[in-house]
Structure 1
Amino acid sequence: MNEHRSGPVRSTAAREAILDATARLFHNQGYDRLTIEGIAKEAGVGKQTIYRWWPSRGALIGECLAEGRLIPVDLVVPDTGDLVADVAAWLRTVMSLVDAPEGGALLRSLVSAATEDAGVGTHLTESLGVEEHLSERLRAGIRDGQLPADAPVDQIGAAILGAIIVQSLGRRSGETGSLEQLVRFLFA
């Protein structure tokens, strides 16, 4: 007797297979070589199944980011009471990911994906903890008198993220010190 599986079970399994395949192929090939056809083949589903849930490969990458499948570390900014030291510690953690084998390529691929799908950029910022953790720590710095009351928290976070991305795009690894110098300057 042949048992019929219900739709939701199949959908959950297919969704997981698609996201797993996307993350695996993204890590192995980068964004430029990632195709919906390749993802469908790797996941064992049809392209129409993918397009039913996601309108583009960028949307798929965004969801993989949001679920921690591409950057699996929660990048919390410590709060020791020393804003500069705390942001520098977070920066060292981020840069250790970027400087790791394949880390720079991953970030460059994510930036490339973000040029086609704004959601990827939003999820990248969230995955690196910029909006939640860094901005929260900067607000605490304002509260503790380590930053002026009118410090543009979101713009400072964006500037630091931009410096990380520019360094990665220039393939300049191991220059965490120059980014820490930027942080000290911004908070002086």
Structure 2
Amino acid sequence: MEYGSISPVTMFINAGPVGKVVMAVLLLASVWTWVLIVEGVVASVRIGKAARIARSGGPAGLLAPIEAAGEHAAGFDLPGESIGEKRERVAEIMSRVGRELMTKAEGGLPNLAVISSVAPFVGLFGTVWGIMTSFAGIAQSQDTSLAVVAPGIAEALAATAYGLAAAIPASVGYNRIGASFSRAGQQVAHYVEDKALAVTSGHIVASRKREAA
């Protein structure tokens, strides 16, 4: 194996079969990481923006399922239910729908966590294999010169670099996007509280008007 440069492409081309597999897996993991990061950022920003607009009196947008669930729940009058109990029931149903919405939007976060924890070990496997290749070269050639050892060591370090390239963005993305989703979830929770109160009050007023008529 000849290494004319230390570019990732050159390292991949000159690596052995096992090294190529390890680097290819880590490269795919790195690409997938950035896809998940972009999806997570877009989803958290959209949900947070939708919650702020809805709380200010605008359309529900992405939170329309939550609003629809609240309207549907408020339309039922349970016997002996007080106004406070009805408000709690409506808020609980809306919160359940909100949690389902957030869980669906956060779908990529567990994958980021897996990549951030597994990628370094996959890279470490490539590192160990490269070092073993170096020792095998020494044993075969009966020579400990740098020319014999260097290719295997270079492959080992390249695998480590590929692993870090996948793990570091995944770890940072997981933590930052998780915090962003947490803030968006708080906005959704505030919207649920406000909307549950408004929906319940609106249905109570409408019911009393019907009774008076």
TM-score bin (small chain): under 0.3
* Larger RCO, structure (CA 8 Å, separation 6 or more): 2
Q: TM-score, normalised by structure 1?
A: 0.28
Larger radius of gyration between Structure 1 and Structure 2: 2
Q: TM-score, normalised by structure 2?
A: 0.26
**Which structure features the higher share of helix residues?**
2
